[in-house]
Amino acid sequence: MSLPEGVERRDIDGQETLATRGPPISEEATDGAWRAWDPRRSKLAAMVAVGLDLPITAGEPVLYLGAAAGTTASHVADLAPTYAVEFAPRPARDLVAVAADRDRLFPLLADAREPESYAHVVEPVETIVQDVATRDQADVALANREFLREDGRLALAIKARSVDVTDDPDAVFESELDALREGYEILDRARLDRFHEDHLGVIARPRYCHKQNA
């Protein structure tokens, strides 16, 4: 497993952890300019920790769907310009505060299920990161596929309990992957249970994207 430029494994507070360089949030553990990126608090970091290759290139734009209070989005913004979409007003306020001292983090109060509401702002991106706790997670990824460059990648965390709390997680994952295949080719996947119970990390690329001018 290779780490993207800007992500390192470092010993912070006596524990090896993923880390990025940027302003820390609250009481976040640091080592000089490096800040710990905890897989227990970040599904994207968990995807890296379980061996999935993170499809983010330094300096290339990212669309982050489901940014919540901005913890993971801030780490992504340490690496690349990041459009961070969050629907709920309370975490969105925290996201705005996190973005205040980060000139590459652009918070958007919007619904990821309605990409037309931010299409006038978001440029074609290399990567979509999605962590949206909703029933229609594959549909959200399909709706936002229009923003991906033809050689872009999707990094998706599927939360089984948000799709169907009564069904077996494996069955939920397969159902969501089948739906996702309508517009994406699945490149890799891995369970994240070591850090986040009943979650599946997925790396995919778009299938039938229209040509875009980057």
Question: Per the annotation, does 27 bind a ligand?
Answer: no
Candidates 150, 135, 152, 151; CA nearest to 212 is 150
**CB-side neighbour CA atoms (13 Å) of 72:** 27
Kindly report, residue by residue over 128-155, the tens digit of the pLDDT.
999 998 999 999 999 999 999 999 999 9
The whole-model pTM stands at 0.93
Q: Which helix (H) or strand (E) holds 31?
A: strand 30-31
What is the spatial distance between Cα 109 and Cα 122, in angstroms, rounded to a whole number?
13
Kindly report, residue by residue over 8-46, the tens digit of the pLDDT.
999 999 999 999 999 999 888 999 999 999 999 999 999
Question: Per the annotation, does 111 bind a ligand?
Answer: yes
Here the tokens at position 148 are 């991906």
Question: Per the annotation, does 134 bind a ligand?
Answer: yes
| pLDDT at residue 169, as a whole number | 93
| pLDDT at residue 2, as a whole number | 74
Domain ranges of the chain: 39-206
**With bands split at pLDDT 50, 70 and 90, how would you rate the model's confidence at 214?**
very low
CA angle 121, 105, 195 (to 5 degrees): 115
Here the tokens at position 48 are 């890296």
The overall average pLDDT reported for the chain is 94
Question: Per the annotation, does 132 bind a ligand?
Answer: yes
Share of the chain above pLDDT 90, in %: 89
Residues 14-41 as b or e (16 or more Cβ within 10 Å = b)? eeebbbbebeeeeebbbeeebbbbbbee
Kindly report, residue by residue over 50-74, the tens digit of the pLDDT.
999 999 999 999 999 999 999 999 9
CATH of 39-206, one of 3.40.50.150, 3.40.605.10, 3.20.19.10, 1.10.3720.10: 3.40.50.150
The answer to whether 12 and 18 have CB atoms below 8 angstroms apart is no
Q: Which helix (H) or strand (E) holds 154?
A: strand 148-159
- CA 132 remoteness from chain centre: 9
Question: Per the annotation, does 71 bind a ligand?
Answer: yes
Tokens 């249970």, residue located: 193
What is the spatial distance between Cα 70 and Cα 92, in angstroms, rounded to a whole number?
8
**With bands split at pLDDT 50, 70 and 90, how would you rate the model's confidence at 208?**
low
pLDDT over threshold 80, residue 211: no
- CA 84 remoteness from chain centre: 9
The DSSP output letter for 60 is S
- What's the mean pLDDT in 188-199? 97
pLDDT over threshold 90, residue 6: yes
Question: Per the annotation, does 131 bind a ligand?
Answer: yes
Tokens 């996947």, residue located: 189
The answer to whether 20 and 38 have CB atoms below 8 angstroms apart is no
| pLDDT at residue 19, as a whole number | 97
